Structure 1
């Protein structure tokens, strides 16, 4: 499987589609009668004045989620190859994205974090372009708007604002105008939301949008035991990927080193921002899939022991499918 996707062969797109379906069959068979889908935060509900939460059947919900994952995988693959993050073209980023985005059953259905991954990929296109840009104030403005749109869909996405500013530190010499442009872009979206609140006589509640940001960070979270079992191969591959990346880190171009630094920052920010939601939701960690998929792809592209990396990937794949049929 890994060897197949190591080559940049357009036929891999068909195999990728087959894998997307195969990784969802187990869940479709035992799917509940109803699946809720909420793609905007409650404070932005005025933007969608219709009832949509249960408009899709479970089958259509999972099918559409799979289609979104497939599209995101191809976009991510294009991003990685366009900026030459791995040093050679392949379909491994797409393979890793499709695999990791099926890791847990909450990942398999439509959710706000899944939709936000389109914005994460869009942000990366713009952030990786900062390095060679002369005047990037317009890009900063666009990035601020993207973060704001993501915040309307899923409030924890607001912390990607920090990733944008850190990217400016990593890729650019300090220019206060670029930093202000990001703020203006973010403020533009929420200005129009404030107008909508005013027109609906709800402006006095506008400040409550940001109250969840003051939620205390939890001391512990409750996770099923099978989740830890599935995380074991993921953590193991992640450790191997970090070591492999470290071996060639200083041999890479400056832009590539900066890009992987940014991916690490985005992974940390996305992972820690889960506390904003009152009820812990495992699908939040879909926001971490993009940087993890790129890192995994780097490892599987450059590791040399065929029997080991093929066995490792098949073990991960088998674990995902097994726990879809056996949730205990």
Structure 2
């Protein structure tokens, strides 16, 4: 399987579609009668006043989510190849994203984090372009707007604003105008939202939007650990990725090294921002799948022992399918 996707072959899109079916059929067969779909945060419902939460049947919901995942996988693959993150063209990032997007059943349905992954990918295209950009003010402004739009859809997305400043630190010499441009871009979107609140005589509620950001980081989370055994091969692959990266880090181009550093911070920020929501939602960690797919692709592309990386991927795939049928 891994060797098949190591080669950049457009026919691999067909195999990606087959894999999407295989990794989701278990959940599709036992999906609940109703699946709620929440597209925007409650404070942005003024923008979408119609009811839509149960518009799609469970089967249609899962199917549309799979189509979005396939589109995102191809975009991530194009991103990795465009910026030469993996040293040669390959279809592995797409394979890894399709696989990681099936880790848990909440990943397989329409959700705000799933839609936000389009914005994460869009951000990465712009962030990675900063390396060769002479003037980053307009790019930073656009990135601020993207983060603001993502915040309307899913409030924890606001923390990805830090990635703009981190990218400016990594790729560019300090210029305070570029740092301010990102803030102005963010404020532009929320200025128009404030106008809508004002015209609706609800301006007092507008200032409560950011109240969840003051939530303290939880000391503990009540979860059934046996349901998360599927993460064992994921953690193992992350360890192997970091080991392989440190072997080749100094051999890589400066742009590639800086790009992977940015992806690492994106992975951390996306993962650590889950606590903003009052209720623990597993689908939040779908935001981590974008950088993680590039990490895993890097390991599988640079792995030297075929039986090891093929066995690890097979173990991951079997774990995903097994835990769909066995939720304990």
Alignment partner, residue 266 of structure 1: 266
Correspondence list, 1:208-219, <5 A: 208-219=208-219
Once residues 317 and 225 of structure 2 are traced to their aligned partners in structure 1, the CA distance between those partners, rounded to angstroms, is 18
Segments of structure 1 that go 5 or more residues without pairing to the other structure are: none
The reply to whether residue 279 of structure 1 matches residue 313 of structure 2 is: no
Task: Say which SS state the counterpart of residue 300 (structure 1) adopts.
Answer: helix
Structure 1 residue 21 displacement after superposition:
1.3
Q: What is the CA deviation profile of residues 244-290 of structure 1, one whole-angstrom value per residue up to 9, with x for unaligned ones?
A: 01100011111100000000101110111000000000000001111
Once residues 10 and 113 of structure 1 are traced to their aligned partners in structure 2, the CA distance between those partners, rounded to angstroms, is 28
Aligned-CA RMSD value: 0.7
How many residues get paired?
A: 328
Once residues 287 and 226 of structure 1 are traced to their aligned partners in structure 2, the CA distance between those partners, rounded to angstroms, is 23
Structure 1 residue 227 displacement after superposition:
3.2
The reply to whether residue 111 of structure 1 matches residue 111 of structure 2 is: yes
Q: What is the CA deviation profile of residues 168-214 of structure 1, one whole-angstrom value per residue up to 9, with x for unaligned ones?
A: 00000011111111011000000000000001000011110000000
Correspondence list, 1:10-159, <5 A: 10-159=10-159
Alignment partner, residue 242 of structure 1: 242
Q: Contact 2:131–2:255 at 8 Å: present in 1 too? A: yes
Task: Say which SS state the counterpart of residue 209 (structure 2) adopts.
Answer: helix
Alignment partner, residue 205 of structure 1: 205
Once residues 272 and 311 of structure 1 are traced to their aligned partners in structure 2, the CA distance between those partners, rounded to angstroms, is 30
Alignment partner, residue 323 of structure 2: 323
Once residues 306 and 209 of structure 1 are traced to their aligned partners in structure 2, the CA distance between those partners, rounded to angstroms, is 51
Q: Contact 1:226–1:323 at 8 Å: present in 2 too? A: no
Give the TM-score normalised by structure 1.
0.99
Once residues 244 and 124 of structure 1 are traced to their aligned partners in structure 2, the CA distance between those partners, rounded to angstroms, is 23
Task: Say which SS state the counterpart of residue 210 (structure 2) adopts.
Answer: helix
Q: Contact 2:113–2:283 at 8 Å: present in 1 too? A: yes
The reply to whether residue 295 of structure 1 matches residue 284 of structure 2 is: no
Q: What is the CA deviation profile of residues 135-177 of structure 1, one whole-angstrom value per residue up to 9, with x for unaligned ones?
A: 1211111000000000000000000111111110000001111
Once residues 242 and 294 of structure 1 are traced to their aligned partners in structure 2, the CA distance between those partners, rounded to angstroms, is 12
Task: Say which SS state the counterpart of residue 142 (structure 2) adopts.
Answer: helix
Q: Contact 1:103–1:320 at 8 Å: present in 2 too? A: yes
Once residues 183 and 217 of structure 2 are traced to their aligned partners in structure 1, the CA distance between those partners, rounded to angstroms, is 26
Runs of 4+ in 1 over 4 A off after TM superposition: none
Alignment partner, residue 254 of structure 1: 254
Once residues 181 and 53 of structure 1 are traced to their aligned partners in structure 2, the CA distance between those partners, rounded to angstroms, is 35
Task: Say which SS state the counterpart of residue 129 (structure 1) adopts.
Answer: helix
Alignment partner, residue 174 of structure 1: 174
Once residues 113 and 46 of structure 1 are traced to their aligned partners in structure 2, the CA distance between those partners, rounded to angstroms, is 20
Give the TM-score normalised by structure 2.
0.99
